[in-house]
Amino acid sequence: MKRLTLLCAVLLASSAIALTPSGNERATTVRHLNQTFMMPVHSTKDDWLRRRAELRLQSLVSLGLHPLPERTALNPMVFRKIIRDDYTVEQVYFESLPGFYVAGNLYRPLPQWNKRRPAILNPHGHSSNGRLVDVELGSIAGRCIGQARRGYVAFTWDMVGYNDSLQLAHNYPGAPLYGLSLMALQTWNSIRAIDFLQSLPDVDPNHIGVTGESGGGTQTFMLCAVDDRVQWAAPVNMISSHMQGGCLCENAPGLRIGTNNMEIGALFAPKPLLLVSCTGDWTVNTPKIEYPALKEVYDLLGAGDRLSWVQIDAAHNYNKPSREAVYGFFAKWIDGKGDGKPAPEATFAKEPDASLRVFATKADLPLNARTPEQLTQYWIDQSEVQLEASRRAGSERFAESYGPALRHALHAAYPLPAGVQVYPASKDFQPTDALAWTPFHFGRLDGSDQIPAALAMPKSEGKLTATVLVGPNGRAGGMNSALARKLFTQGHAVLTIDAFNSGEAMAERVDRGYFTTYNRTDTSERVQDVLTAVAFLRARPDIRAVNVIGRGNFGPLTLLANALAGEAVTRCVVDYAEFTGTDTTITQDLFSPSLRRAGDLRTAVALASMRPLLVHNACATFPSNWLRRSTEVSATASSLDDDAIVRWLTN
């Protein structure tokens, strides 16, 4: 106990951390779409701007859109114009990806003269009729006609699997390792819809707005989060503190880890935003919860007057009163007319479905339309092409692009050493050898993790080198190892840990739906534990250097952690455990969504080998061509014994 007290005192003296025990919430708390979320507190404008940059990057990585895919030719077709008294309707299709078609309708005002007009995107929700819905609670044609009559070019298109989107079903599973999901495709379609509108000669490319309801509301605020070209937005009946979206197309893996729709919606600040809510769904609390939460961010940016709300006494909808509220909002901010109050909607008549449909059957699709399998493979192939092109562009440019991608794919980051705290050891701890191990737990200041650990400190008058042992058998395996004793004999402090769901820290996690949208995978948690362990040692005034050793099948994840640790790790030894690195083995043993899109172990090798790195037990598929060559970096197929590892570390 005296050693533990001294250990805590040393750490606390170096970083002024409170010793407040807390439960290990990672294993016992599973986040899900229907829980109540709180808006994170952002104290200053600079705090928010830093958070905004990180959250936007997280969104892009989770959607497989970092780096952005190539904007290939749209090859748009606009045809079959229907002319009414004060507007026209046309059929449209274009390719958001080669061979992947987006179909919809374009509504334009009359008279048409040589003038560029604002344009409004109109994504639709989960009505069975999609963009063709025309009922009391919502009419896509009604709001597009209303917008065209007010002088805007309005475009509406199909969600994947609806109406004319016949190539994929709305339960398309995608390729999670590559960031390909139903939500990713729909967000990309929204981005390409802006590209389409900006290509039209009668559209002002700098005046783009968007409004959609329900699932279309999710598309609205996600587009606003990742594309700066949107200037005005009105998400309808969607931004909620207690329901985040109940469809696969609203739950990209990794999207809401550490965040929620309120904070994502706030990414649009300081641009004009109208929150449309109703009394009959999950937006019932908008006036007292969601609006004040977003208002705090808008106020930080000096733009509180650009955020507004309206609530309609109705069930889940985009009905006439909701549409009229949005008309008034657009009139104020786009045209500089009125005070934002609802503007009346004239009667309208929707065209027959047959006049609006583009592809009635799959036989109507262009000949180059891809199958689901072909589309998935195209996405994967282009991801690999981008990765290789970035590598060939040079190490600095590669690190700037794919380093953040890897960090966000893993949802792990090296914490500031001052952000680590120590907890008392469990009473049932029994040291198993003569190294006088000191048991304790440590974790980040937010109290979300408590990592079981044991530290052996040799006597020394000066600062020590410390080595972290990470392996599948946790801290007990480290304490019982000959490697720990050999390092200790060489004067190294040795820290061994139970990384998440290993050793004594095993726990079953319950999937309550869309698990990876809201929760880190075991791989992500373990990578974070290694990073936190390094930060813990770096906080100690008696430690001058920190090494990391990944043992057994924990070697590859240690390589990932080392890549994110930067110069905090002095030397790293990785048992590659003959890991083949295929899609199958990564899914089974190292799963984290978007990991392949971020370059997986290839990116880790490229980044980690900028510092001394030793990889052993590598197989033929080890990405040796990604190593940055130096005398301090090497990889071997043979399995190194403890003596060879210690010699390399102590050289």
pLDDT of 174-185, one tens digit each?
999 999 999 999
Span 364-383, mean pLDDT? 98
Domain count, the chain: 2
Within a domain: 564:
yes
List of residues 6+ apart from 639 with CB closer than 8 A: 575, 616, 617
Per-residue model confidence (pLDDT) at position 24:
60
C-alpha 59/C-alpha 494 separation (Å) is: 38
DSSP class of residue 114 equals S
Within a domain: 381:
no
Q: Do 11 and 69 share a structural domain?
A: no
Q: Do 568 and 503 share a structural domain?
A: yes
Within a domain: 376:
no
Q: Do 71 and 19 share a structural domain?
A: no
Residue 301: pLDDT band by 50, 70, 90 thresholds?
very high
Which of 350, 383, 399 lies at the terminal end of a domain, its last residue? 350
Q: Do 23 and 71 share a structural domain?
A: no
Q: Do 202 and 99 share a structural domain?
A: yes
Per-residue model confidence (pLDDT) at position 200:
97
Per-residue model confidence (pLDDT) at position 290:
98
Q: Do 328 and 235 share a structural domain?
A: yes
C-alpha 586/C-alpha 592 separation (Å) is: 8
Per-residue model confidence (pLDDT) at position 424:
75
Q: Which domain holds residue 131?
A: 61-350
Q: Do 102 and 12 share a structural domain?
A: no
User: Half-sphere exposure (CA, 13 Å, Cβ side) for 367?
Assistant: 0
* In the predicted structure, residue 57 carries a pLDDT above the cut 50: yes
CATH of the domain at 576: 3.40.50.1820
Q: Do 213 and 80 share a structural domain?
A: yes
List of residues 6+ apart from 405 with CB closer than 8 A: 61, 66, 67, 594, 597, 598, 599, 603
Mean residue pLDDT across the chain: 93
* In the predicted structure, residue 395 carries a pLDDT above the cut 60: yes
Q: Do 325 and 465 share a structural domain?
A: no
- The answer to whether 185 and 192 are in contact (CB under 8 A) is no
Span 492-503, mean pLDDT? 95
Per-residue model confidence (pLDDT) at position 13:
37
Which of 325, 350, 375 lies at the terminal end of a domain, its last residue? 350
Give the burial class of 116: count Cβ atoms within 10 A of its Cβ; 0-12 exposed, 13-18 middle, 19 or more buried.
middle
Residue 8: pLDDT band by 50, 70, 90 thresholds?
very low
Q: Which of 68-82, 238-252, 625-639 has the lowest mean pLDDT?
A: 625-639
Residue type, 395: S
* In the predicted structure, residue 28 carries a pLDDT above the cut 80: no
| pLDDT tens by residue, 199-214 | 999 999 999 999 999 9
Give the burial class of 367: count Cβ atoms within 10 A of its Cβ; 0-12 exposed, 13-18 middle, 19 or more buried.
exposed
| pLDDT tens by residue, 141-165 | 999 999 999 999 999 999 999 999 9
Within a domain: 609:
yes
* In the predicted structure, residue 15 carries a pLDDT above the cut 70: no
Per-residue model confidence (pLDDT) at position 21:
37
| pLDDT tens by residue, 105-147 | 999 999 877 789 999 999 999 999 999 999 999 999 999 999 9
Within a domain: 55:
no
Per-residue model confidence (pLDDT) at position 11:
40
* In the predicted structure, residue 43 carries a pLDDT above the cut 90: yes
User: Half-sphere exposure (CA, 13 Å, Cβ side) for 254?
Assistant: 33
Span 341-346, mean pLDDT? 98
Q: Do 417 and 288 share a structural domain?
A: no
Q: Do 327 and 449 share a structural domain?
A: no
pTM for this entry:
0.94
Per-residue model confidence (pLDDT) at position 425:
67
| pLDDT tens by residue, 567-612 | 999 999 999 999 999 999 999 999 999 999 999 999 999 999 999 9
Q: At what angle do helices 522-538 and 555-565 cross, to 10 degrees?
A: 50
Which of 350, 375, 392 lies at the terminal end of a domain, its last residue? 350
Per-residue model confidence (pLDDT) at position 18:
34
Within a domain: 383:
no
